[in-house]
Chain A
Amino acid sequence: MLAFVVRRILQSILVMLAVALIAFTLFRFVGDPVNQMVGADTPQAEVEKMREVLGLNDSTLVQFARFIWNALHFDFGISYQFRQSVTALLAERAPATLELALAAAAFALVVGVLMGVYCALRKDGFLAKLFQAVSLVGVSLPTFLIGILLIYLFSVALNWLPSNGRGQVVKVGDWWTTGFLTVSGWKALILPAITLGLFQMTLIMRLVRSEMLEVLRTDYIKFARARGLTTRAIHFGHALKNTLIPVITITGLQLGSIIAFAIITETVFNWPGMGLLFLKAVQNVDIPIMAAYLMLIGFLFVMINLIVDLLYAFVDPRLRAAMQG
């Protein structure tokens, strides 16, 4: 078990190094950092001085090491557009994105599992067929189109929910702002969370459905029925537990995607998160922000992968045994 954990952690570090290399390459070689920072009329001597100060004249390897060292201290340099520390810019917007992603994931998981189980148990029912059809359409609709559709319905036509921003936020601690404590915060969250979670929800629904149908066909379910266990015990005990293991994995892995896809949702709803910041960086070629965001998302993905793998090993006794033996 320990060997497995260590090996997985080493793998994760290796992937992070690869991501860091890409981020560094971006930072260092795509557009000259100094040219971005100085005006056109800055004297050449001053430019040279800046290069020296920034360490751009050192060898590439030294620069890469310094980049990693700085990254470990959450230092990603200064944004070209805002002339502000990238870390501060990201930290300021992180709560918005994380709260949105969390709400979207919760929505996707709860509704997806419920609908998936329903579709598996009432396979031929009208509602199950309807869910299936809607999920197919849902997968085909781009996220931004779904967002716009929801805005048109609930903001323009019905005027029930806001289409823009986070509502009223409350400061918690030194650097966290939350929308969970105000009514307007909750109202503002509903449409973006549904938009962001819908794709994952249909994914989870389809996965739960097909996994559960598979499990219901197994011998151990037939044997459980032959022993006269109640339908409830079979469906929601035996079948669901076996179904949820692969679902946990996929959902966990999707969490990273949700955060990445937040870029689109944040644009549609003008949600003041990291995704919007990243998009502005791409539009304005603000390399430090792009590099930092890449590192951040890379870190999230690697961590999620790691946790899911370890969790998976913990939940499934067969794997647990395989690793001990």
Chain B
Amino acid sequence: MSHPNPEEIKGLTTALTGASAGAAPHLGPPRPRSLIERMKDSDIWLSFKASKLAMVAALVFVLMTFGAIFAPLLATMNPFDPAQIFLADSSLPPAWATGGDPRFFLGTDDQGRDMYSAILYGLRISLIVGGLGVLLAALIGITLGLVAGYVGGRVDALIMRIADVQLTFPAILIALLIDGVFRALVKTGNKEESAMFVLILSIGLSFWVQYARTIRGSTMVEKNKDYVQAARLVGLPVPIIMLRHVLPNVIGPTLVILTINLGLAIITEATLSFLGVGLPPTQPSLGTLISIGQRYLFSGDWWIVAFPGLTLAILVLAVNLLGDWLRDALNPKLR
């Protein structure tokens, strides 16, 4: 096992944060090289090229994201549009199986929806909900962590106690509860439209703790460094110091948490939808499709559950592999 020396690690952090510790980023000389050039030189890129598994995972992830973004172009139908769905086509097996229909390559579900199209659209929802949920969590966590670390005292104690209590419970339970609360608050008629926002909010509120803890820890270290003291002496307002001076120097590690949590968030969304409290069958995510498919497992319609399940598994595996690799590449000590 090779351990990069501290200089290398420092270089990495610098590459990530765009600022070296101890120097205020906006005061430095103009950057001589573009971000891409610096990326190519960094250890992180070298380590990426060395890891075949990470490359395959990245390729899979990019392909899936591509499929999700261009779903309307790639799909053969819009699975959310009832006008395009015909019950006569329901529960058809994949095209290659006996009784398959060449129009529906991966078969159809119980409503007559094309599985291939439904998966593309479901993937889209999974990625949007997971991605935005994780970003929201990061936003909440980073803000609270910065404030707790920088302000300290009672504010810090309060935020961290909330974090402690929340950390006692698994995220899925928190998400379920928040989901339940919002379902109670939202007017009955709007439930289907708001389902996605409720999910994003649930995920955001369930996963913020880890960011807050990490950011708080490093903020407390940075706050006492000379450059922050200097900014204070100059009389810069606190929010400016926090955002422009402290934040760039503490935000590096959150990238790893972000990647690792993306997998978790996608699973959480799928689970909530599977449990019937996420996205409704009229606009199914991968979890909803699997939940529909489970009902037809015993009647032999394996494709309704198999293809969305496989897609979900591959997506999460790819994200997790990327996260693992990123964590190892950035901090070998965590291995």
- Mark A residues whose CB is within 8 Å of B: 15, 18-19, 26, 30-31, 136-137, 139-145, 148-149, 151-152, 155-156, 163, 256-257, 260-261, 263-264, 267-268, 278-279, 281-283, 285, 287, 290, 294, 297-298, 301-302, 305
Contacts and interface: CB of A to CB of B under 8 A. Distances in A.
A14 to B, nearest CB: 8
Given A260-B173, A268-B294, A283 B277 contact: yes
Question: Main SS of the interface on chain B?
Answer: helix
B275 A263 contact: yes
Contact of A257 (B170, B270, B309, B316): B170
A141 B266 CA distance: 11
A142 B179 contact: no
B137 to A, nearest CB: 19
A281 B168 contact: no
Nearest to A142: B267
A250 to B, nearest CB: 14
A257 B263 CA distance: 18
Contact of A141 (B275, B276, B313): B313
A282 B297 contact: no
B290 interface: yes
A297 B317 CA distance: 30
Nearest to A16: B165
B275 A264 contact: yes
B165 A264 contact: no
Contact of A261 (B164, B172, B177, B181): B172
15 contacts: A30-B185, A142-B312, A142-B316, A144-B270, A144-B271, A144-B275, A144-B287, A148-B297, A261-B170, A279-B275, A282-B176, A282-B180, A290-B180, A297-B169, A301-B169
A140 B314 CA distance: 8
A125 B270 CA distance: 36
Nearest to A18: B165
Contact of A156 (B181, B263, B277, B297): B297
A150 to B, nearest CB: 11
Contacts of A156: 297-298, 300
Contacts of B176: 263, 278-279, 282
A82 B56 CA distance: 52
A140 B184 contact: no
B213 to A, nearest CB: 17
A60 B290 CA distance: 44
Contacts of B298: 155-156, 163
A282 B317 CA distance: 29
B320 interface: yes
Nearest to A151: B297
Contacts of A290: 177, 180
Contacts of A287: 184
Contacts of A282: 176-177, 179-180, 183, 277
Given A140-B263, A283-B276, 5 more contacts: A152-B305, A260-B173, A263-B173, A282-B177, A290-B177
